[in-house]
Amino acid sequence: MTYRVCFVCTGNICRSPMAESVFRARVEEAGLHGLVEIDSAGTGGWHEGEPADPRAASVLEEHGYRSEHAARQFQPSWFARLDLVIALDSGHLKALRRLAPTEEDARKIRLLRTYTRPSSDLHPSSSASHAPSESAGDDLDVPDPYYGGRDGFEECLEMVEAASNGLLAAVREHLEGRAA
């Protein structure tokens, strides 16, 4: 059975496509390509059909990530087919929780940076499935790089990469639980 993950930011041209590309690479490296489906969307439809921001695409390419992307808006009906909805900041978390048709769907939503583990953490699953609280602070947000320079996109990539290993551990734990 396929495990489905969708990353969500504001317009689906910067943060969520970066997270999608990085996580897709992690899943492929882990040999889980056929078991995990990765997607991204925005809370708004301002950029529907557009490719990723050229700065995001450039940073991804320079770091060895592939990015083929067309922006789209997240739809509440998607909750039914998704296992995990990853918000890139607390504003997205709140917007997605308002869209969630049921409490069960709302429990599928997580902030990406809750999966960031200290490098000294030897037990990746210990905090990987922690559900973020509604009051999670800005320290867990991936800042929007859109209105800034290239350095904001580099910072975004670093944050996404730092959280991706913990997220992969959580997804692997769910996959192993389904197989049991």
CB neighbour list of residue 61: distance below 8 Å, 6 or more residues apart: 67
pTM over 0.85: yes
Cβ within 8 Å of residue 17, ≥6 positions away: 7, 40, 52, 56, 60, 67, 69, 71
Is residue 127 predicted with pLDDT exceeding 80? no
What is the Cα–Cα distance from 1 to 9, expressed in whole angstroms? Answer: 27
| pLDDT tens per residue, range 78-90 | 999 999 999 999 9
Which CATH number belongs to the domain containing residue 123 in this structure? Answer: 3.40.50.2300
> What pLDDT, in 10s, does the model give residues 30-74?
999 999 999 999 999 999 999 999 999 999 999 999 988 999 999
Lookup: tokens for 18: 């970066």
> Which of the following is catalytic: 4, 72, 97, 144?
144
Does residue 55 have an active-site annotation? no
Indicate the number of domains in the chain.
1
Per annotation, catalytic residue among 9, 39, 53, 105: 9
Residue 9 bears catalytic tag: yes
Catalytic residue among 14, 15, 26, 89: 15
Domain ranges, residue 116: 3-179
Lowest mean pLDDT among 48-57, 115-124, 140-149: 115-124
